[in-house]
Amino acid sequence: MIVISAASGALGRLVVDNLRARTEVVAVVRDLGRAPEGVPARHGDYDDPASLRAAFDGASRLLLISSPELDPSRKTRQHLAAVAAAEAVGVGAIAFTSFLGAGTVATGMTEAYHATEQAILDSGLPYTMLRHPFYSDAFVPRISGGELTGSTGGRGLNTAFRSDLAEAAANVLVGEGHLGRAYDFTGPLWSHPEVAAALGVTYREVPDTGPGPMSWINGLVRAGALEQQTPDLERVLGRPAETVVSRLLGRRTP
């Protein structure tokens, strides 16, 4: 039995969809009213350790999907509670959706993920780390007035679509040879000027004046921090990952 935590979220639902015809899968959700249809569901709340122990009991493999919590300290507490619950009930193996860089860096975006990876290693449970990049779903450029604008300095992004990351997670959960490994998943490198050229529109760099996290992320892109590339995602998928250009061309109307 494979158990998927946070299964009512966007990634969790995609993983369940990938697994439902391949193996016995149980969805763990905070609100049973939002559970994916067609599979058994259990209540499990990252803020309620007892509920997690009951939800994870009997799992041959557990996919621990990271909490959407933004506060690093609370996110860490939630993850550590989930790892402790998995250890307490003796799950067969745990796969964790971590973040790129979490294996070596414990600051900023990676703080909670790094702490969780260490807790999993300390637990002694068989494991697989699935280190994700940013999701392409949130970065697909929008074209307005026949042009594409951006504040990335033309640098590359290694984002990947949730659908590919979900399929990769499902392959790990039902496949062999993944235990004891850490995968650094990156999507095909792309840039805003390349997308504009592929779509036959003009690209224009604009000042990055927007507040909030996107401005911070744009700064990372301009510094080249999102240009890391590995073959891990393609290898686990057994095929090339979807590109941003192909997604845009697929949606484009004549």
Interval 9-66: pLDDT, tens? 999 999 999 999 999 999 999 999 999 999 999 999 999 999 999 999 999 999 999 9
Give the pLDDT of residue 254: 35
Give the pLDDT of residue 210: 67
More confident position, 245 or 105? 245
Residue 177 has pLDDT above 50, yes or no: yes
Question: Which residue type sits at 40?
Answer: P
Distance from C-alpha of 235 to C-alpha of 22, rounded to nearest angstrom: 20
**Spatial contact of 182 and 247, defined as CB atoms under 8 Å apart:** no
Give the pLDDT of residue 253: 40
Give the pLDDT of residue 240: 97
CA 134 to chain centroid: 7
Give the pLDDT of residue 52: 98
Residue 14 tokens read as 């995609």
CA distances from 187 to 17, 22, 157, 230, 243 (A): 21, 25, 8, 8, 7
Distance from C-alpha of 172 to C-alpha of 15, rounded to nearest angstrom: 11
Residue 23 tokens read as 């193996």
Helix (H, G, I), strand (E, B) or coil at 26: strand
Reported as half-sphere exposure (CB side, CA atoms, 13 A), residue 72 has a value of 10
Give the pLDDT of residue 251: 61
Give the pLDDT of residue 106: 82
Residue 182 tokens read as 């850490």
**Spatial contact of 161 and 186, defined as CB atoms under 8 Å apart:** no
Distance from C-alpha of 136 to C-alpha of 90, rounded to nearest angstrom: 35
Distance from C-alpha of 200 to C-alpha of 48, rounded to nearest angstrom: 52
pLDDT bucket at 249, cuts 50 / 70 / 90: confident
More confident position, 214 or 5? 5
114-150 pLDDT tens trace: 999 999 999 999 999 999 999 999 998 888 888 999 9
**Spatial contact of 39 and 20, defined as CB atoms under 8 Å apart:** yes
Which residues, listed in sequence order, are joined to residue 148 by a DSSP beta bridge? 143, 203
201-239 pLDDT tens trace: 999 999 887 667 888 899 999 999 999 999 999 999 999
pTM value?
Answer: 0.95
Q: Which of 151, 136, 134, 156 is nearest to 203 (CA)?
A: 151
What's the CATH class of domain 1-132? alpha beta
Question: Which residue type sits at 199?
Answer: L
Residue 203 tokens read as 């690209």
Mean pLDDT of 155-169: 98
> Where are the strands (E) in the chain, listed by range?
2-4, 25-29, 41-43, 61-64, 94-99, 127-132, 143-144, 147-150, 181-184, 202-205
